[in-house]
Structure 1
């Protein structure tokens, strides 16, 4: 029997620890997996991706219940918690591995993403550079990256970079926060 209450979204918007920490808190999200996508190296490692030579982006794969949170809802959160106007960077993280991208798993997702970007035209200080492409193979990151923020929230990077994005989500989307 096919599970009709689950869809997949794949988003890249800088460090995957930031995106994972936010989307793990979202109501209707079943799982969030950090990983790599969009490059030319099979089964890349974190160190390979950080070198910037694999073509992969740090990304998250979200399994969600579309009856509880829609793909468009996920996009609303995504565009609110990262800067979609900076090419190949988020803050001090620089390189193609930190690009803003939506890896569409269906043609409907690609259309929804393009429509969201068009609707946001002029809403930022610069043009949106988020790419929308069909999703190729997603490679899960090494286990130590999963649920990183909740296990390492005391680290300076988590306190300075990840925590403010989590707080921004909690303030901006209280109706989207998971009840438990």
Structure 2
């Protein structure tokens, strides 16, 4: 089986994980941290904004079933790429919008899509998503993995994660896993 990886950050990693787990061709999604200056950060340290890390997901996918570009198109629908260091009520540098490219091809593809969205004036405000080569990825603690699947009726999941999953299902029905 062919496999590639992508690393994306767009607010709370629970939201991105819940959406990408439902995308055809996505084999595995891991919530984690990237972009900081210490090794093996903890959730508490990342939330303190002292490590510089962003909450991200590492997506393993089959590019013959879903393309990197399609993953990015989903990304730009399920979060607000025009807000710096926050998504909704989640505020802090760990919630920044970021695309961590794992190859020069991914980097160019992401930059191209951002340029297209800006040229189309797809958003009323400028896109602030950072697009750079990927730093080290650190998996988050076990209790963060599959969070929405394990806690669908938790308040945050119902109020924030669920609507993002619904938006994905409505907008990208053809990419939904069977």
Q: TM-score, normalised by structure 1?
A: 0.97
For residues 16-48 of structure 1, what are the alpha-carbon distances to aligned partners after superposition, in whole Å with 9 as ceiling and x for unaligned? 000000000000000000000000010000011
CA–CA distance in 1 between the matches of 2:103 and 2:63? 14
Q: TM-score, normalised by structure 2?
A: 0.98
Q: State the match for 1:174 in structure 2.
A: 173
Q: State the match for 1:152 in structure 2.
A: 151
Unaligned runs of 5+ in 1: none
Q: Post-superposition, which runs of at least 4 consecutive aligned residues in structure 1 deviate over 2 A?
A: none
Q: State the match for 2:36 in structure 1.
A: 39
Aligned residues: 176
- Counterparts in 2 of 1:81-96, with a 5 A limit? 81-96=78-93
Across the aligned residues of Structure 1 and Structure 2, the Cα RMSD in angstroms comes to 0.6
Unaligned runs of 5+ in 2: none
CA–CA distance in 2 between the matches of 1:123 and 1:29? 26
CA–CA distance in 1 between the matches of 2:136 and 2:111? 21
- Counterparts in 2 of 1:77-156, with a 5 A limit? 77-121=74-118, 122-156=121-155
